[in-house]
């Protein structure tokens, strides 16, 4: 009995000590642990999704964020697309999220995207495999050999397309750029030349990307189902190319000529045919999305800014005259050295926000700048709000390429291509393709842009596909008068003094007139 009493007393004392330590640890955690950001989770199940989407479709898509920033600060909690989410419009917090590895944050996308991309997509894989795939793609995209080939292909396909354009006719920039950049990118990836296979791939690829942002319903007839069927057909085509290439490479060793060759030269067993097929298809997306939209938006912004357009044209005309006198073709470094052109592209990326943000999922509790992002919650880094923040950019809604003359594009306030280990490996390639198109377009054509507006959700695009009425330039190489005439047209003055209202295009407070005659039926 005495021993039992002693053991009971010792047990009670130990329990008391452990309970006290537990309570003290809990008190310390509550005292020092960062709190959840302010905000609201909205309605049960749906959260604030409907309001988020409603604002995204409006002319001011960041209004959802602006309203909550005023109430809760630049980092706040919400509940969108079925998930509790911490939304960051703070540059430093967003940078931390983007630069964190898979032990802290992993990619998180809507169900429709994960279904279509597949588990082996570079967008979804993590760890050493992601670093290997990203590194292989990045090293090839940065190689001088590829840049030279891209320059040659882009110039060739562009000229072939431009040769079919007729004076005084409308062309749709968004459509033209999608066709050209897609062909260039597909050749870069799998060396597929224009022809029946390219036409087939182009057609079914449209069906594929149509389902990236769609209802997660896979029943026959639904958009996601149709997109999945299109993906299967593309995989079959790419898989045949992979098999042919493996047989060819086993007989002949050669320098990699495309991204597929780079992958096949790697002996890792992780790089299966399934992974290669998925990633070849996924890497085609910029050819139909981000790159053509960058070009299209740049032309829209330049069309609305005559002074910027004039300086842009003068810089490119100067380069063209210099190379013409030397009898040389333009190389990739010539395009990338066009300083004002690069500033125009940078400003287009900032103002256009082709990628509005990135979603991640927290793998553990994360504390940053006094905020807690709980394990299992989503984190949305909303680039658009950062790029349009008055604290970072003076008059942020104004197209102003000159702001980048002395500004660092490597700042955490500017993240159009994401960041960290998942920084877009093709960012230099995108700039190069855009620079080439814009150079040849502005040096060969004058144009009048028709009214159009930007749609920001579910993806950024021009409502009317950016229609412009074109006319080929005079020979401006040695004719100063032609240069002055083209400047008059571009700055909104009448070429022949024609005051006919049918030849006027009104944009806001600016009316542009030119002597182009309307197409007759």
Question: 3-class SS at 421?
Answer: helix
How far apart are alpha carbons 115 and 59 in whole angstroms? 30
Tokens representing 459? Answer: 């993806």
How deeply is 493 buried, as exposed, middle or buried, from its count of CB atoms within 10 A (0-12, 13-18, 19+)?
middle
Place of tokens 């660092």: 408
Neighbour tally for 166: CB within 10 Å = 11
Determine contact, residues 163/444, Cβ cutoff 8 Å. Answer: no
Which stretches of 210-331 are DSSP H helices? Answer: 223-251, 259-264, 273-282, 285-288, 290-303, 306-326
Closest to 464 in 3D by CA, of 174, 77, 261, 200: 174
Place of tokens 């537990």: 22
Calculate the alpha carbon distances from 48 to 107, 147, 337 in Å.
21, 45, 46
491 annotated binding-site participant: no
Number of separate helices (H) and strands (E) present in the chain: 20, 14
Tokens representing 454? Answer: 């930007």
Task: Could you list the residues known to form a binding site for heme, using ranges.
Answer: 424
Task: Could you list the residues known to form a binding site, using ranges.
Answer: 424
């Amino acid at each position: 009995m005495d021993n039992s009493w002693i053991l009971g007393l010792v047990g009670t004392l130990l329990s008391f000590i452990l309970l006290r330590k537990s309570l003290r640890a809990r008190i310390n955690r509550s005292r020092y642990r960062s709190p959840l950001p302010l905000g609201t989770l909205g309605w049960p199940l749906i959260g604030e999704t409907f309001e988020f989407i409603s604002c995204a479709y409006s002319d001011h898509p960041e209004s959802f964020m602006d309203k909550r920033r005023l109430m809760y600060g630049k980092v706040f909690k919400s509940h969108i697309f079925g998930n509790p989410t911490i939304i960051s419009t703070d540059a430093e917090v967003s940078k931390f999220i983007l630069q964190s590895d898979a032990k802290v944050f992993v990619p998180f996308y809507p169900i429709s995207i994960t279904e279509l991309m597949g588990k082996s997509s570079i967008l979804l894989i993590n760890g050493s495999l992601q670093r290997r795939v990203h590194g292989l793609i990045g090293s090839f995209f940065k190689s001088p050999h590829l840049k030279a080939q891209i320059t040659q292909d882009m110039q060739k396909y562009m000229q072939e397309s431009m040769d079919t354009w007729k004076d005084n006719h409308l062309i749709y920039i968004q459509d033209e750029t999608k066709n050209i950049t897609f062909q260039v990118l597909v050749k870069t990836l799998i060396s597929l030349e224009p022809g029946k296979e390219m036409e087939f791939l182009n057609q079914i690829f449209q069906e594929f990307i149509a389902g990236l942002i769609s209802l997660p319903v896979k029943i026959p007839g639904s958009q996601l189902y149709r997109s999945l069927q299109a993906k299967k057909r593309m995989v079959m085509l790419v898989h045949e190319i992979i098999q042919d290439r493996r047989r060819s490479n086993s007989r002949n060793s050669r320098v990699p000529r495309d991204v597929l060759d780079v992958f096949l030269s790697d002996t890792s067993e992780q790089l299966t045919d399934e992974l290669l097929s998925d990633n070849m298809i996924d890497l085609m997306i910029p050819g139909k999305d981000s790159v053509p939209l960058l070009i299209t938006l740049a032309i829209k912004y330049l069309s609305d800014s005559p002074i910027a357009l004039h300086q842009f044209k003068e810089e490119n005309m100067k380069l063209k005259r210099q190379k013409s006198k030397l009898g040389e073709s333009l190389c990739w470094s010539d395009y990338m050295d066009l300083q004002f052109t690069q500033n125009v592209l940078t400003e287009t990326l900032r103002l256009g926000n082709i990628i509005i943000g990135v979603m991640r999922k927290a793998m553990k509790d994360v504390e940053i700048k006094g905020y807690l992002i709980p394990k299992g919650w989503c984190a949305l880094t909303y680039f658009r709000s950062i790029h349009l923040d008055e604290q970072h950019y003076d008059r942020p809604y104004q197209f102003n390429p000159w702001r980048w003359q002395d500004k660092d594009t490597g700042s955490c306030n500017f993240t159009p291509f994401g960041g960290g280990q998942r920084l877009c490996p093709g960012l230099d390639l995108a700039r190069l393709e855009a620079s080439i198109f814009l150079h040849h377009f502005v040096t060969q054509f004058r144009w009048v842009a028709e009214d159009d507006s930007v749609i920001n959700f579910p993806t950024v695009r021009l409502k009317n596909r950016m229609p412009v009425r074109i006319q080929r330039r005079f020979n401006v190489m040695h004719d100063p008068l032609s240069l002055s005439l083209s400047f008059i047209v571009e700055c909104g003055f009448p070429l022949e003094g024609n005051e006919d209202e049918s030849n006027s295009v009104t944009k806001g407070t600016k009316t542009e007139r030119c002597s182009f005659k309307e197409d007759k039926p």
